[in-house]
């Protein structure tokens, strides 16, 4: 047969497949109604296994794997359709709607805000852009920020989450699963690092440089060009600048901001020592309570998947089916597990969409872990 004839045959087969697909979905709707009337769950894992065994056997050698993949996708589509028909959003939807109703129309101008580090830290700069009149409390470590928000000591907390040059802030991601919080806003801050030292100190005098590990990673090319200088990690870029200012040593320097040079009376030995001039750090603003402000268009989730082939693909297919753009996918190992991971998702979407809300409600049913971190907007 010629290619044209084979394609025409394809077209005829595809028409039949579409007709059968429509008929199958109509039947799926009838089953959904019966499940509701009888109080049955949408998913029936044993029934799915029976169907998979049958279709694989019927497909025969060489095609059984493809048949299995096709029908696993079909099951995902049918479950999603049934969830939507049943409007199976329940308590989750009520929590979302209640949060949206009690959230003010405008983001607050003031509040008590927790930041990691000391005065002059990049977290403080991000905080000052988010709030017009913040009352900032500083904490030495990231977990102190989470604890302050969860305990109610602070209304909000500001934390770095990722950098455009050096990637995710792993410490923050690892702490996120240990605390109850919600993301209410995010901001991207342009970060320009400088090498700071006491007045009168020259570059050739410097024997040791202090800074946070993220800043050191963002300035790796500069540090590689000076292998004779020892590099030491400390808890914060601003803390590094303050330490240099208060130290009696004149052979040390800090990688920090120009703002910290002014704040702590230091001299800028070299400016823009970061690897990339287009260097941005993304910060999240967290609160204890769920707040969803008008115009929120980013959603963050934390969830796990079943430890089986295709589990992550099945999850991603749900987002693709709704045309949702995933802007971030981060995996972190679960401590004490046998190479199992928890996933963090950022996406462009709003819970004000009924289809998105239905999908999120569907996701809550299957994973061992599902945490809705927030629906918020980002300040650029």
Domains of the chain, by residue range, sit at 3-88, 92-190+280-379, 194-271
Is residue 67 over pLDDT 70? Answer: yes
Per-residue model confidence (pLDDT) at position 39: 87
Per-residue model confidence (pLDDT) at position 42: 85
Q: How far is CA 85 from CA 35, 70, 78, 183, 193, in A?
A: 11, 23, 10, 30, 53
Per-residue model confidence (pLDDT) at position 85: 81
Confidence (pTM) = 0.85
Count of CB atoms within 10 A of residue 44's CB?
A: 15
**CATH number of the domain located at residue range(s) 3-88 in this protein:** 1.20.59.10
Query: Angle 190-191-195 (CA atoms, 0-180°, nearest 5)?
Result: 155
Asked if domains 3-88 and 92-190+280-379 share a fold, the reply is no
- 90: helix, coil or strand? helix
How many angstroms separate the CA atoms of 351 and 154, rounded?
26
Task: Extract the runs of DSSP E, i.e. beta strands, from the chain.
Answer: 110-116, 133-139, 156-163, 167-168, 182-190, 194-197, 208-211, 230-233, 252-256, 267-271, 280-287, 298-304, 325-333, 341-348, 370-379
Catalytic entry in 283, 305, 345, 372: 283
232 annotated active-site: no
Phi, psi of 286, deg, nearest 5 = -115, 155
Helix 3-37 and helix 64-86: axis angle, to 10°?
Answer: 40
Q: In what order do the strands lie in the sheet with 208-211?
A: 230-233, 208-211, 252-256, 194-197, 267-271
The percent of residues above 70 in pLDDT, for the chain, comes to 99
Superfamily for domain range 194-271: Periplasmic binding protein-like II (3.40.190.10)
Per-residue model confidence (pLDDT) at position 313: 82
Per-residue model confidence (pLDDT) at position 87: 67
Query: Is the separation of the CB atoms in 237 and 117 below 8 Å?
Result: yes
Is residue 244 over pLDDT 60? Answer: yes
Per-residue model confidence (pLDDT) at position 367: 64
Query: Is the separation of the CB atoms in 111 and 349 below 8 Å?
Result: no
pLDDT digits (tens, 9 = 90+) for 331-370: 988 887 777 888 999 999 999 998 888 888 888 776 678 8
Distance between first and last Cα of the chain: 58
* Length of the chain as a residue count: 380
State the greatest distance between any 2 C-alpha atoms of the chain, in Å, as a whole number.
Answer: 88
Spatial neighbors of 109 by CB under 8 A, at least 6 apart, are 131, 132, 133
Low-confidence winner among 158-172, 176-190, 224-238, 314-328 (lowest mean pLDDT): 314-328
Spatial neighbors of 297 by CB under 8 A, at least 6 apart, are 348, 349, 350, 377
pLDDT digits (tens, 9 = 90+) for 1-32: 789 999 999 999 999 999 999 999 999 999 99
Per-residue model confidence (pLDDT) at position 61: 82
Classify domain 92-190+280-379 by CATH architecture: 3-Layer(aba) Sandwich (3.40)
Q: How confident is the model at residue 243 (pLDDT cuts 50, 70, 90)?
A: very high
pLDDT digits (tens, 9 = 90+) for 107-153: 999 999 999 999 999 999 999 999 999 999 999 999 999 999 999 99
281 annotated active-site: yes
How many angstroms separate the CA atoms of 231 and 212, rounded?
10
Q: How confident is the model at residue 43 (pLDDT cuts 50, 70, 90)?
A: confident
Half-sphere exposure of 266 (CA within 13 A, CB side): 33
Catalytic entry in 89, 131, 181, 281: 281
The percent of residues above 90 in pLDDT, for the chain, comes to 72
Residues pairing with 299 in the sheet:
347, 375
pLDDT digits (tens, 9 = 90+) for 148-183: 999 999 999 999 999 998 999 999 999 998 999 999
Per DSSP, the chain holds a count of helices (H) and strands (E) of 13, 15
Per-residue model confidence (pLDDT) at position 89: 57
Mean pLDDT across 77-100: 82
């Amino acid at each position: 047969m010629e290619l044209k004839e084979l394609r025409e045959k394809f077209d005829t087969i595809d028409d039949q497949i579409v007709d059968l697909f429509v008929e199958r979905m109509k039947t799926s709707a009838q089953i959904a109604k019966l499940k509701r009337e009888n109080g049955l769950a949408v998913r029936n894992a044993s029934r799915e296994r029976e169907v998979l065994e049958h279709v694989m056997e019927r497909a025969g050698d060489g095609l059984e794997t493809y048949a299995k993949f096709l029908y696993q996708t079909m099951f995902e589509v049918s479950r999603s359709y049934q969830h939507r028909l049943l409007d199976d959003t329940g308590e989750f939807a009520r929590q979302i709607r209640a949060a949206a109703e009690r959230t003010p129309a405008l983001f607050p101008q003031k509040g008590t805000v927790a930041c990691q580090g000391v005065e002059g830290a990049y977290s403080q700069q991000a905080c000052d852009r988010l709030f017009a009149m913040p009352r900032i409390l500083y904490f030495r470590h990231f977990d102190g920020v989470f604890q302050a928000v969860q305990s109610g000591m602070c209304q909000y907390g500001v934390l770095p989450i990722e950098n455009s040059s050096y990637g995710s802030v792993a410490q923050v991601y690892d702490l996120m699963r240990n605390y109850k919080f919600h993301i209410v806003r995010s901001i991207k801050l342009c970060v320009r690092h400088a090498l700071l030292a006491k007045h009168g100190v020259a570059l050739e005098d410097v024997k040791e440089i202090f800074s946070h590990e993220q800043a050191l990673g963002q300035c790796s090319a500069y540090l590689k060009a000076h292998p004779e200088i020892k590099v030491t990690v400390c808890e914060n870029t601003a803390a590094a600048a303050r330490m240099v200012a208060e130290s009696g040593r004149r052979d040390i320097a800090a990688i920090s901001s120009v703002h910290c040079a002014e704040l702590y009376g230091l001299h800028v030995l070299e400016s823009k020592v970061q690897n990339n001039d287009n260097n941005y750090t993304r910060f999240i603003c967290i609160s204890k309570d769920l707040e969803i402000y008008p115009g929120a268009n980013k959603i963050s989730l934390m969830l796990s998947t079943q430890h089986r082939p295709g589990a992550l693909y099945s999850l991603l297919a749900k987002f693709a089916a709704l045309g949702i753009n995933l802007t971030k996918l981060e995996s972190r190992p679960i401590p004490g597990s046998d190479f199992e991971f928890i996933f963090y998702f950022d996406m462009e979407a709003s819970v004000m969409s009924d289809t998105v809300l239905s999908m999120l409600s569907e996701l809550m049913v299957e994973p061992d872990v599902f945490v809705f971190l927030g629906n918020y907007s980002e300040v650029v």
